[in-house]
Structure 1
Amino acid sequence: MPSLVYLHGFASGPGGSKGEHCRRWAGARSLDYHAPDLNLPTFEALTVTAQVEAVEALLGALPEPPVVVGSSLGGLVAAAVAQRGAALAGLILLAPAFGFAARRLEGPRWAGYRRRGTMPIFHHARNAWTRLGPALLADLPAWADEDRWTLEVPLAILHGTRDEAVPLDSSRAFASRHPGSVLVEVDDDHALLAEPTLRILDQLLRSALP
């Protein structure tokens, strides 16, 4: 049976609430579970390229194609890995951070980061403020073209209608370009931790890992 791989989001870690939910779900079914730390090479020197390459190395070492759950930036990384040809049994994206590169390269909220090359960020896994360095800025142009990606893998997207971090329209647009994909819109915010939302996530997991 395929294993379950969970990819966490930006300024987070594998032990966050959704990761622990997926770990418990897999453990109750005796499934192999993997949740790599994607603060690579460090959070201060973070690049999407380092994240994608680390996930590709992990998937390449597994005995069969896994189901991958990607949350926020982890969702973008998961989609990128699928786009680059990784063999997957299924893909579940939780408020995937489509447009992540464009918002940082062009959006007004990140103008100071572009000007200074650094930015203070509260890192939830560390429970502390840290400083994001310039490596991400240099790396992001390589990951700004997800509107041209075509994923050949069973795809489900879960996104909250009250998400203020990642626009719901980005998931709607991505799903519309992938016939056969499933988009579930829920009354939730970016965290996607409401009990009804987690029950829907469990349903998606059961569909991908019967």
Structure 2
Amino acid sequence: MDKSYIYLHGFASSPKSAKADFLRDRFREKQIDLQIPDLNQGDFYHLTLTRQLQQIESEFNLKSEQKKVIVGSSFGGLTATWLAQRNPSVERLILLAPAFEFLIHVLPLLGNEKLEKWQLERDLSVYHHGEQRDVLLNYHFIEDLSQYSDEQLNRSLPTLIIHGKQDEIIPIEASRNYTASRPWVKLIEVESDHALGNVLPEIWEAIKLNLDE
């Protein structure tokens, strides 16, 4: 039974991001088809974590016995971890600057005034890197995410985290905190920011070693 390899892009990103392209090419060199779904679904406005989980579970039949390896970047990394929690078919995780403690770290970046306005008016203008323009996001994104607690992520499976020490969006402390109580998780700290754009070859070397274990 062949394994499936899946890459989940980050928040306000796309399957055509530089990281996605890089990893798709590297996996192809190993004759592995890295599948990269579009988590925007043509409707970024109604994006939620729940929708992403349901999309991937359905699109890749995660309830089947076929084993899956999921690589997740940022919010895609958080999504990947929840998928593994809910689906035994996920046998390995590779997380790139995963968005643990998302609400704790990202909401303060908006500032109280902008956050209160979003909650009241329901719409927030977000720069979408995939579309290279500002798009709207509904506040239900936050309400939905509030239902999920990182503390519930306790399934033991081989997990590699690669996180930049200079991450300005999700501080490396989030991954350090996550790893501290989960002995099955290996954390590699790199000299980079949230995008990890300057360490892609280093990331690939770590992924290759992880896949060959």
TM-score normalised according to structure 2 size? 0.88
CA contact (8 A) 2:65 2:89 kept: no
Count of equivalent residues: 207
- Give SS of 1:199's match: helix
State the match for 1:148 in structure 2: 152
2:21 is matched with 20
Secondary structure of 2:60's match? helix
> Which residue is equivalent to 2:209?
207
2:38 paired residue number: 37
- Alpha-carbon contact 1:117-1:137 (below 8 Å) kept: no
**Which residue of 2 is the match for residue 175 of structure 1?**
179
User: Are residues 1:72 and 2:74 paired?
Assistant: yes
Q: How does 1:17-166 map to 2 (within 5 A)?
A: 17-40=18-41, 42-60=43-61, 64-103=66-105, 109=111, 110-143=115-148, 145-166=149-170
Counterpart of 1:184 in 2: which secondary structure?
strand
- How far apart, in 1, do the equivalents of 2:206 and 2:56 lie? 22
3-state DSSP of counterpart to 2:146:
helix
Between the two proteins, what is the percent identity of the paired residues?
33
Does structure 2 retain, via aligned residues, the 8 Å contact 1:41–1:47? Answer: no
Letter in 1 for 2:3: P
Instruction: Please tell me the residue identity of whatever aligns with 1:171.
Output: S
Write the deviation string for residues 160-197 of structure 1: whole angstroms up to 9, x where unpaired: 01101001111001111210321011110000011xx2
Provide the secondary structure at the position in 1 that maps to 2:50. helix
Say if 1:169 and 1:4 are closer, same or farther in 2 by CA, change over 3 A.
same
Computed over aligned residues only, the root mean square deviation of the Cα atoms, in angstroms, reads: 2.1
Which amino acid in 2 is paired with 1:45? H
Residue 129 of structure 1 and its aligned partner are, at CA, apart by: 1.0
Distance in 1 (alpha carbons) for counterparts of 2:127 and 2:141: 16
Unmatched 5+ residue regions in structure 1?
A: none
C-alpha distance in structure 1 between counterparts of 2:144 and 2:99, whole Å: 16
Whole-angstrom CA distance in 2 between matches of 1:193 and 1:107: 22
How far residue 63 of structure 1 moved from its aligned partner, in angstroms, is: 7.3
**Shift, 1:137, TM fit:** 2.8
Q: By how many angstroms is 1:111 displaced? A: 3.6
Distance (Å, rounded) in 2 between the aligned partners of 1:75 and 1:24: 20
Q: Which runs of 5+ in 2 are unaligned?
A: none
Q: How much does 1:134 deviate?
A: 2.6
| C-alpha contact 1:67 1:208 (8 A) present in aligned 2 | no
Q: 2 CA distance for matches of 1:189 and 1:56?
A: 30
Distance 1:103 1:41, change over 3 A: farther
